[in-house]
Amino acid sequence: GAGVSQSPSNKVTEKGKDVELRCDPISGHTALYWYRQSLGQGLEFLIYFQGNSAPDKSGLPSDRFSAERTGGSVSTLTIQRTQQEDSAVYLCATLPGSFSYNEQFFGPGTRLTVL
């Protein structure tokens, strides 16, 4: 079966523009995370979705960041008015069920470059 996919794989944008990053989870995986990976900074938790429950947005760094998950499947991370410090790799991970001690399945990431 297919793994987690993300698109685009690379995105170059100009400062001030809006971008949308997409994550297609493994079929049947109800939990979905977004992370940001900056050089030398490890993975930073951004947002968590579990089924139809309200998402945990506690990791979003500013109100320019938002995410949604339609029908419990595809998720979109939107960054408005991008800044250079938003440049990073954005990773999506999913897992079946709600138990965080299960392994997460990661997508390949979207590399965002803000000029």
Partner 1 sequence: AQSVAQPEDQVNVAEGNPLTVKCTYSVSGNPYLFWYVQYPNRGLQFLLKYITGDNLVKGSYGFEAEFNKSQTSFHLKKPSALVSDSALYFCARGDSNSGYALNFGKGTSLLVTP
Stretch touching partner 1 by CB under 8 A, among 12-20, 67-75, 80-88, 106-114 = 106-114
From CA 110, how far away is CA 78, in angstroms rounded?
12
Residues 65-94 contacting partner 1, CB under 8 A? 91, 93
Q: Which of 88, 109, 112, 114 binds partner 1 (CB under 8 A)?
A: 109
Site mask for partner 1 (CB under 8 A), range 40-59, x = bound: xxxx-x--x-x-----x-xx
Length of the chain measured in residues: 115
CB closer to partner 1, 56 vs 80 = 56
List of residues 6+ apart from 94 with CB closer than 8 A:
4, 23, 25, 26, 29, 31, 32, 33, 104, 105
Residues 6-25 contacting partner 1, CB under 8 A? none
Dig out the tokens for 96 from the structure: 């079946």
Which residues of the shown chain bind partner 1 in the complex (CB under 8 A)? Answer: 4, 31, 35, 40-43, 45, 48, 50, 56, 58-59, 91, 93, 98, 100-101, 103-109
